[in-house]
Structure 1
Amino acid sequence: MNNIGLIGLAVMGQNLALNIARKGYSLSGYNRSHETTEKFIKEKVKDEKIYPYYDIKSFVESLEKPRKIILMVKAGKPVDDVIHELLPYLDEGDLIIDGGNSYFKDTDRRIKELKDKGIHYLGMGVSGGEFGALNGPSLMPGGTKEAYEMVKELLLKIAAKTDSGECCTYVGNDSAGHFVKMVHNGIEYAIMQSISEVYDVMRKVLKLTSEEIGEIFEKWNNGELNSFLMEISYKIMKHKDDKTGKPLVELILDEAEQKGTGKWTAETSLDLGIPTPSLNLAVVGRTLSFFKDDRVKLSKMVSRNYPQNALNKDEVVEDLKNALLFSVFSSFSQGMWLISEASKVYGYGIDLKEVLRIWKGGCIIRARLLDFLMEIITEDNANLLLSPKSVKFLEEKIDAVKKVTKLAKDNYIPMLTVNASLDYFYSMSEENLPANLIQGQRDFFGAHTYKRIDMDGIFHTEWQQD
């Protein structure tokens, strides 16, 4: 009998299976495509105790009881289809773990449906890409504590390790794991967009080569901006195309695709009433990029009057660094606030510091900045802005952000996420916003009422006397 089963042997599933087996566990593997399974066993499996199965019944029967099965299949209907195939062969007390990027409300539904059948279910966020799956990902399991305890030892062994411990924790009840992974991806979108906006100013305004930008990014990665996304960005900038010898990044079509987690984050933030403009605008940025033909046509129709001012390259680069730090901090701040609110609304019981801790290694958004965030975050300060340390950190960078965004605007360069981060901070730190006029307008055309600052109560005015 094997210790655990894994369904879905695409690259992520293969690497996770190898990781598990190399930690001393025996694993049953199954994939709908027999060819994929055979190729994996033949080309990747060496001395690991990984055994292939070609039908669901024999796969399930190969597992020790209570059975523990990880799903690494595409989110949505494929997950439901696999669960439906498994159910006739499962017993009460068995456990299914969904390691894909499932929508958290789907996970809630599956937990409830399977609970009625006596089957445990964990929705587990897995971050780190192919490399992380093989060498140690960040794992975000959510569901019942009982279900987590069934695989706790295994998950801690395969997770990434940092000076703060294993990058895995019991995240919380119900769909907490998949919710946290969704927001992780929303933050990821925003940081990627922010880096790309800074890159855009460097190449179009400072006229730096890809190699030069790569050198700057590498230098930044050795400092406060140290992160996985910064690291891969400088490596991408320096990579030469085998066929042409040109920087490969310059040959990639500027249409950024998305799989949905960023959009879910934006939608959920609106549903829960938490402002996440940096995360939302990152999704908008990817959507805008997709309209390449329209952008090409419009670029030929719009006249541009570029400024002729001489620039100090070193000063601009320093401003760009600080603007990026400002935007990255804002992205984390908004994401953590959203997680905090969801934990209250959905009863997840999430420990925010633990979430930041397990993001320190293995995952795509791992960054040196997380140590600072762990210092300042509390249950009462989930949006991170109310800490004096946060305000000082951001205020020191505001002038740089203002200069960078003005420079971009003068040169017709969009900076959706960096601008959103600045406006977020301005809005959150402004005592009097113009929403009083909006509320007056609403009352004028729809009798929606308003509150006053000088007396208690709810008021309505007949704005037109005719």
Structure 2
Amino acid sequence: MENFDFGIVGLGVMGRNLLLNMADHDFSVAGLDLDAEKAASLEKEADDKHTIKGTTSAETFVKLIKKPRAIMLLVPAGKPVDSVIDSLLPYLEDGDIVVDGGNSYFEDTNRRVKSLAKKNIHYFGMGISGGEKGARFGPSMMPGGDKDAYERLRPIFEAVAAKVGGEPCVTYLGRGSAGNYVKMVHNGIEYAIMQLIAETYDVLKRGFGFETAQIQQLFEEWNQSELQSYLLEITAVILKKEDPNTGKPLVDLISDTAKAKGTGKWTSQNAMEIQAPVPSIDLAVAMRDISKYKEERVEAASKLRWNDSTETVNNEEIKALFKDAFHFGMLTIFAQGMAQLSIASKEFDYGLNLEEVAKIWRGGCIIRAAVLEDFRKAYKNNPELPNLLLDEELSSQILPRQKAMRSVVKIGIGKGIPMSVYTATLSYFDAYRSESLPTNIIQAQRDYFGAHKYERIDKEGVFHTEWEN
């Protein structure tokens, strides 16, 4: 007893794979699950070289782990997390560490941090990205909590994390719920880039008649360029897969009603609360919502018609145009997400180092991409950079591509094909680069109907006008 390095509660796919990953790196690990079959089968998966123990008893599980204990929860977010904490508390002691490795809402993490601190127990919220394969062979991990307590976790996490250039894709991120917040925004960026890829596929297919195989080849080519990213890579694989019964591309037989677990919505909601504009993420969430209204969309398709003019186009020119527009879109989406992290770090006193965030996202995680190394360099050069669009190197990549972006958005509008994220991304760019915005009209309107007052550009103070006189 008390000889095991680490424990995980929840032996589903993620928990089991992460435990096996730790065992591969010579850590002794214990697992707890109410399902006796899962607990027993965990030990069977390990070979003689690994020290792994599975149990269904919370008391036995806690007593297996060396002090100060390090225990990770990999259970569904919400009430299940609180339930597991309650089951462990009678056996935990001062200085023990509990790590929530699920996609918990950051405010829930704040509550748990305060509650467990009263019992002298350290609570960490840690985002994990990379899916089941990442958990087994190297995820990106985003822990936040007490900095001193992190030293108990660091050797294990650094060993099992994905590596880029020998550097582990994990680091201490900041105080309180910093880890969960960073993972939440990671998922928001993920939503937007997934939608950007989907819209590219849609316009090429519906708008220009590209076959699925042509789009697959295009995405595969892009992934060998400066656009290299995990999401492009897997999309190329998806488009290549054939249905064994019909021989058709499997993706063509998949329903267009998308689901979501809520992290994208949380990103948008909190961005609005802290006044961090992320319209690309907002619209990516909205498009998933619209997809659920299938029956209404089918009816609307027969009534709300639009016939675009057919044009003869050069496929190679279209491919080049969309490549530049996609590049513009991906960079500007990342800029929005990273700007939200910058604002949130000040708002919630996280103390985030955005260079470190970009660094640990380079490998293991779902949004890993070649451009993250450019982001890391940008924040290294200027740790206080409020927005990636202000970095000279990155703006030099974006500016030559804005013409393509504008052309692609016009194409979507002309053809009546929804390009919500493309359009929102361009609008964000244009708003951010506008020295003057028409919000002076809004100030005046608010003062007219609500006497909310307004500011002037020629003198200090706030003013109210009787507009009818």
Q: Tell me which interval the TM-score lies in, with the shorter structure as reference length.
A: over 0.9
Q: Shift in Å at residue 403 of structure 1?
A: 1.0
**What is the alpha-carbon distance in structure 2 between the residues aligned to residue 318 and residue 456 of structure 1?**
50
Matched, 1:165 2:162: no
Question: Where does residue 105 of structure 2 map in the other structure?
Answer: 103
Q: Shift in Å at residue 375 of structure 1?
A: 2.2
**What is the alpha-carbon distance in structure 1 between the residues aligned to residue 460 and residue 348 of structure 2?**
32
Q: Secondary structure at the match of 2:59?
A: helix
Match of 1:260 among 241, 250, 262: 262
Question: Where does residue 387 of structure 2 map in the other structure?
Answer: 383
**What is the alpha-carbon distance in structure 2 between the residues aligned to residue 276 and residue 164 of structure 1?**
33
**What is the alpha-carbon distance in structure 1 between the residues aligned to residue 156 and residue 422 of structure 2?**
40
Give the number of aligned pairs. Answer: 464
Matched, 1:423 2:424: no
**What is the alpha-carbon distance in structure 1 between the residues aligned to residue 324 and residue 260 of structure 2?**
27
Q: Secondary structure at the match of 1:51?
A: strand
Question: Where does residue 333 of structure 2 map in the other structure?
Answer: 331
**What amino acid does structure 2 have at the position aligned with 1:209?**
E
Alignment of 1:230-269 (within 5 A): 230-269=232-271
Q: Shift in Å at residue 45 of structure 1?
A: 3.1
**What is the alpha-carbon distance in structure 2 between the residues aligned to residue 32 and residue 328 of structure 1?**
43
Question: Where does residue 437 of structure 2 map in the other structure?
Answer: 433
**What is the alpha-carbon distance in structure 1 between the residues aligned to residue 461 and residue 114 of structure 2?**
43
CA-to-partner distance for each residue in 1:179-221, whole Å, 9 max, x for gaps? 1010000001111010000010111122111111111000000
**What is the alpha-carbon distance in structure 1 between the residues aligned to residue 429 and residue 468 of structure 2?**
37
Q: Shift in Å at residue 376 of structure 1?
A: 2.0
Q: CA RMSD in A?
A: 1.2
Matched, 1:453 2:457: yes
**What amino acid does structure 1 have at the position aligned with 2:414?**
D
Question: Where does residue 46 of structure 1 map in the other structure?
Answer: 47
Q: Secondary structure at the match of 2:307?
A: coil
Question: Where does residue 178 of structure 1 map in the other structure?
Answer: 180
Q: Secondary structure at the match of 1:255?
A: coil
Alignment of 1:173-322 (within 5 A): 173-322=175-324
**What is the alpha-carbon distance in structure 2 between the residues aligned to residue 41 and residue 246 of structure 1?**
42
**What is the alpha-carbon distance in structure 2 between the residues aligned to residue 253 and residue 309 of structure 1?**
30
**What is the alpha-carbon distance in structure 2 between the residues aligned to residue 257 and residue 38 of structure 1?**
33
**What amino acid does structure 1 have at the position aligned with 2:250?**
L
Q: Shift in Å at residue 411 of structure 1?
A: 1.2
**What is the alpha-carbon distance in structure 2 between the residues aligned to residue 381 and residue 67 of structure 1?**
38
**What is the alpha-carbon distance in structure 1 between the residues aligned to residue 410 and residue 40 of structure 2?**
57
Question: Where does residue 403 of structure 1 map in the other structure?
Answer: 407
**What amino acid does structure 2 have at the position aligned with 1:436?**
N
Q: Shift in Å at residue 355 of structure 1?
A: 0.4
Unaligned runs of 5+ residues in structure 2 are none
CA-to-partner distance for each residue in 1:336-386, whole Å, 9 max, x for gaps? 111111111111111100000000000000000111112223333231122
Q: Shift in Å at residue 320 of structure 1?
A: 1.0
**What is the alpha-carbon distance in structure 2 between the residues aligned to residue 380 and residue 183 of structure 1?**
19
Question: Where does residue 155 of structure 1 map in the other structure?
Answer: 157
**What amino acid does structure 2 have at the position aligned with 1:106?**
D
Contact 2:72 2:101 in 1 (8 A): yes
Contact 2:144 2:179 in 1 (8 A): yes
Q: Shift in Å at residue 439 of structure 1?
A: 0.9
**What is the alpha-carbon distance in structure 1 between the residues aligned to residue 43 and residue 23 of structure 2?**
13
Unaligned runs of 5+ residues in structure 1 are none
Contact 1:201 1:408 in 2 (8 A): yes
**What is the alpha-carbon distance in structure 1 between the residues aligned to residue 31 and residue 199 of structure 2?**
42
**What is the alpha-carbon distance in structure 2 between the residues aligned to residue 330 and residue 218 of structure 1?**
22
Contact 2:325 2:404 in 1 (8 A): yes
**What is the alpha-carbon distance in structure 2 between the residues aligned to residue 279 and residue 303 of structure 1?**
28
Q: Which moved more, 1:162-171 or 1:358-367?
A: 162-171
Contact 2:8 2:71 in 1 (8 A): yes
CA-to-partner distance for each residue in 1:99-139, whole Å, 9 max, x for gaps? 10111111111111111001111111111111110000001
Question: Where does residue 342 of structure 1 map in the other structure?
Answer: 344
CA-to-partner distance for each residue in 1:133-168, whole Å, 9 max, x for gaps? 000000111000122111110000000000161101
**What is the alpha-carbon distance in structure 1 between the residues aligned to residue 94 and residue 17 of structure 2?**
29
**What is the alpha-carbon distance in structure 2 between the residues aligned to residue 325 and residue 209 of structure 1?**
22
Matched, 1:3 2:8: no
Q: Secondary structure at the match of 1:380?
A: coil
**What amino acid does structure 2 have at the position aligned with 1:386?**
L
Q: Secondary structure at the match of 2:276?
A: coil
Q: Secondary structure at the match of 1:96?
A: strand
Contact 1:19 1:158 in 2 (8 A): yes
Contact 1:343 1:349 in 2 (8 A): yes
Question: Where does residue 66 of structure 1 map in the other structure?
Answer: 68
**What amino acid does structure 2 have at the position aligned with 1:438?**
I
Matched, 1:413 2:413: no
**What is the alpha-carbon distance in structure 2 between the residues aligned to residue 6 and residue 24 of structure 1?**
16
**What is the alpha-carbon distance in structure 2 between the residues aligned to residue 77 and residue 295 of structure 1?**
36
Q: TM-score, normalised by structure 2?
A: 0.97
Q: Secondary structure at the match of 2:159?
A: helix
**What is the alpha-carbon distance in structure 2 between the residues aligned to residue 89 and residue 380 of structure 1?**
44
Q: Shift in Å at residue 259 of structure 1?
A: 0.5
Question: Where does residue 26 of structure 1 map in the other structure?
Answer: 28
